[in-house]
A and B are shown apart, each in its own frame.
Chain A
């Protein structure tokens, strides 16, 4: 055992010395996961936008205009449905990121300043939203989008700058004429802020108009505003969080981190497989074999080093995901089991690969080609979640699919215990097959 550890340690040290090897094993997978995670961030399940359901319970011209404006937002994919109950269910099941409900009376609220600012909306908000609390990014995005659309709708309803200015004046008059005690001091101050803001907005609209670039309203920062301060929460969306039965990725990183794992595992296979081939071509294998170690120990040393590196790479990736990109591990036990199973499987594959290739060039070319195809088929490129069903079935031949699935199960797929076991068993199968075949080929090639 001591010899095996000495051999493994030697390989780990050699990997650290080998810049290209270390890059592909650790840096590339992390870079892949982060880069593609960022590129697709906010897409949560679809590459084209956050899927948001909208229910129009108002049916007014204003609600139609609001929805039309929301649709123009490129980061959202709006689907209009009739039943808020059904929509909430879809969000709860994780099929959609969020739902917005435009309650009856939305149109009136939007066109009447008094209704807008003088309460009535109250805690309700003009728009009711149902979101998945896991998708904090989505919530922020929606808040911004809704506020912008509302702003435009409101200013549209109020007409041009003149209307806005009138609304501000009406509002001031309303506050002034209110019976003492009905509006307290903070509210009064807040409302004064709102009216001032409306005046500013009117001026901006006039200025914009003068410049000739249309009536684009400045989009308010819906998330930053405090309660009651104009187009903040009082006017915007009132979000309601639902507990989601997880069955969809929370963010793009839920997909790219497991994919990064696949690339890291591939680098481990190639790196250690190659190092075994190199040991033969460079003669160090001879040196090891004349030392008092057996060929099994030499092989075991490689396996231990490969296994340890595979576990390490996967752990680093998930830690990066958790620390910086909001990835949350549903089941640590399942994740650990997945890591171990995947590391085992790919160590076995490494053994076979290294025994198949007699020359560095041959082995490396062959290995890369096969592994690349398997990795792409297994969801290393196009995520499994986006693959057509038939392809997902075919992907079963790729160990990468099972490695990715094992992590996804632990992170976001609400897999039942039975479902969670499938990839682990598949990986174990790949591992055993790889070990048996690899050891047999290796022994045969070294036949003394």
Chain B
């Protein structure tokens, strides 16, 4: 019943999940180092960071799997997710495939439904719906061990949704998925959002964060480096746009000359200016992206 109250509030309350100054170390390895963030109701929040940044550890604490050494995690109005009753309201998809291989896709979902206390009819209905949603209806009765890696990924996500949670946390759901399946996954995330659910999504692909997320937290070495909408981040940390111009060669012949790179805050004006010059053959525009944001913030590239 508390859950109902919470969701009643959740729709209007700003913050669904709040992490305050959380720390977590494994022995001498500091995985999360004083991280604070909050997730707003109905948004898709991206946690973007390179390997080892502390994304999974953060998610682990957010879903109550790990207890922070310091700091607090709170689901609005419910308290810490280390309590089983609080976890009922969230769905988590671990980074690792976490399924019973000897069970079929359907059996996995039915079992998890049962674990969440759904009655038989609801379980069946949910399982069928989710299998349909992740495109596995035809393989519903096959054992998971016979699924391809991408199919297992999709089922892995479906398994987090069995109990119809309002808050869904997906830890690198697209690892090892082909472009087609990846696209389907994006559609799924968008659908979850359009249903009013809140989604937390970790990735080290900045394209994903850019395409999917309302807000992004860039993290590295267990700290939040920057937080905001994609546009805000780019505006603040992305640096300038780059206009590249290709001109005719010095002899006026067919061979190209050296491309010229022009950094600018107003790329459209630059393009208009360059286009008016004689001999300009081709103009390319590179807008700053999250990759640039990360580079700017850490001096390193997102991917090694």
Chain A residues within CB distance 8 Å of chain B: 2-3, 6-7, 10, 13-14, 17-18, 282-294, 447-448
Minimum Cβ distance to chain A for residue B157 (Å): 12
3 closest A-B pairs by CB: A283-B98, A448-B67, A283-B96
Q: Is the CB of A291 within 8 A of B65?
A: no
Q: Does B117 contact A (CB under 8 A)?
A: yes
In the assembled complex, B114 has its CB within 8 A of some CB on chain A: yes
Return chain A residues, CB-CB under 8 Å to B101. 282
Interface check B149, CB cutoff 8 A:
no
Most buried by B among A2, A288, A289: A289
In angstroms, Cα B112 to Cα A3, docked, is 10
CB <8 Å contact, A291 and B100: no
Q: Give the docked Cα–Cα distance between A14 and B87 (Å).
A: 26
Q: Are A7 and B115 in contact (CB under 8 A)?
A: yes
Is residue B134 contacting chain A, with contact meaning CB distance below 8 A? no
The complex places the Cα of A282 from the Cα of B97 at a distance, in Å, of: 7
- Residues on the A chain within 8 Å of B218, using CB: none
The interface residues of chain B lying within 8 Å CB-to-CB of A7 are 115
Flag if B100 contacts A10 (CB, 8 Å).
yes
Distance from B260 Cβ to chain A, minimum over Cβ atoms (Å): 52
Nearest chain A CB to B169's CB is how many angstroms away? 9
Q: How many residues of B contact A (CB 8 A)?
A: 29
Q: How far is the CB of B131 from chain A (nearest CB, A)?
A: 17
In the complex, residue of chain A having the shortest beta-carbon distance to the beta carbon of B114: A6
Q: In the complex, what's the smallest C-beta–C-beta distance from A310 to chain B, in angstroms?
A: 21
Q: B60-71 CB contact bits vs A (8 Å, 1 = yes)?
A: 000111110000
State in angstroms the CA–CA spacing of A283 and B108 once bound together. 14
Contact, CB under 8 Å: A294 / B94 = no
A282 to B103, CA, bound (A): 14
Q: Are A293 and B94 in contact, with the CB atoms below 8 A? A: no
Given contacts A2-B117, A293-B84, contact A284 B99 (CB under 8 A): yes
| Interchain nearest-CB distance for B136 vs A (Å) | 17
Given A10-B111, A290-B64, A292-B88: 16 more A-B contacts, CB < 8 Å: A2-B117, A13-B107, A14-B102, A14-B103, A17-B102, A283-B94, A286-B65, A286-B96, A290-B94, A291-B112, A291-B115, A292-B87, A292-B115, A292-B117, A293-B84, A448-B67
Q: Which residue of A lies closest to B86 (CB)?
A: A292
CB pair B94 A292 closer than 8 Å: no
- B84–A292 touching, CB < 8 Å: yes
Of A282, A293, A447, the residue contacting B98 (CB under 8 A) is A282
Q: Closest CB of chain A to B90's CB: distance in Å? A: 8
Would you list 21 pairs from A and B whose C-beta atoms are within 8 A, ordered by A residue? A3-B117, A13-B103, A14-B100, A14-B102, A14-B103, A282-B96, A282-B101, A284-B99, A284-B100, A286-B65, A287-B94, A287-B99, A287-B159, A289-B65, A290-B65, A290-B87, A291-B112, A294-B84, A448-B64, A448-B66, A448-B82
Closest chain B residue, CB of each to CB of A10: B111
A341 to B222: give the CA distance in the assembly, Å.
50
Chain A hits for B114, CB < 8 A: 6
Nearest residue (CB) in A for B145 is A17
Segment 109-134 of B: residues with Cβ below 8 Å from A: 111-112, 114-117
Measured CB to CB, the nearest residue on chain A to B113 is: A6
- For the complex, give the distance between the alpha carbons of A290 and B116 in Å: 10
Report A-chain residues with C-beta under 8 Å of the C-beta of B66: 448
Task: Tell me the B43-87 residues at the A interface (CB within 8 Å).
Answer: 63-67, 82, 84-85, 87
Report B-chain residues with C-beta under 8 Å of the C-beta of A290.
63-65, 87, 90, 92, 94
Q: Which residues of B contact A2 (CB under 8 A)?
A: 117
Chain B residue with the shortest CB-CB distance to A446: B65
CA distance A289 to B84 in the complex (A): 8
| Max chain B C-beta neighbours (<10 A), residue from A14, A284, A287, A448 | A287
- What is the chain B residue whose CB lies nearest that of A16? B102
**A298 to nearest B CB, angstroms?**
10
CB distance from B129 to the nearest CB of A (A): 19
Please give me the residue from chain B that is nearest to A2 by CB atom: B117
Determine the distance from Cα of A286 to Cα of B100 in the docked complex, in whole angstroms.
12
Do B116 and A291 touch across chains, with their CB atoms under 8 A apart? yes
Residue of chain B at shortest CB distance from A295: B84
Q: Which residues of B contact A3 (CB under 8 A)?
A: 115, 117
Complex Cα distance, B87 from A3, in Å, reads 14
For the complex formed, measure the closest distance between the CB of B251 and the CB atoms of chain A, giving whole angstroms: 64
Contact of A287 among B84, B103, B112 (CB under 8 A): B112
Q: Which residue of B is nearest A3, CB measured?
A: B115
Q: How far is the CB of B26 from chain A (nearest CB, A)?
A: 11
Residues of B within 8 A of A6 (CB): 111, 114-115
Determine whether the beta carbon of B87 is less than 8 Å from that of A291. yes
A286, B84: Cβ atoms under 8 Å?
A: no
Q: In the complex the two chains form, is B117's CB within 8 Å of A287's CB? A: no
User: Given A17-B103, A292-B85, A293-B84: A286 and B98 within 8 A (CB)?
Assistant: yes
Scoring B84, B88, B99 by chain A CB atoms within 10 A of each residue's CB, the highest score goes to B84
For the complex, give the distance between the alpha carbons of A291 and B101 in Å: 18
Contact (A286, B94) CB under 8 Å given A291-B87, A448-B66, A448-B82:
yes
Task: A289 to B94: give the CA distance in the assembly, Å.
Answer: 11
Chain B residues contacting A448 (CB-CB under 8 Å) are 64-67, 82
Max chain B CB contacts within 10 Å: which of A2, A286, A293, A447?
A: A286
Q: Judge whether B115 and A293 touch: CB under 8 Å.
A: yes
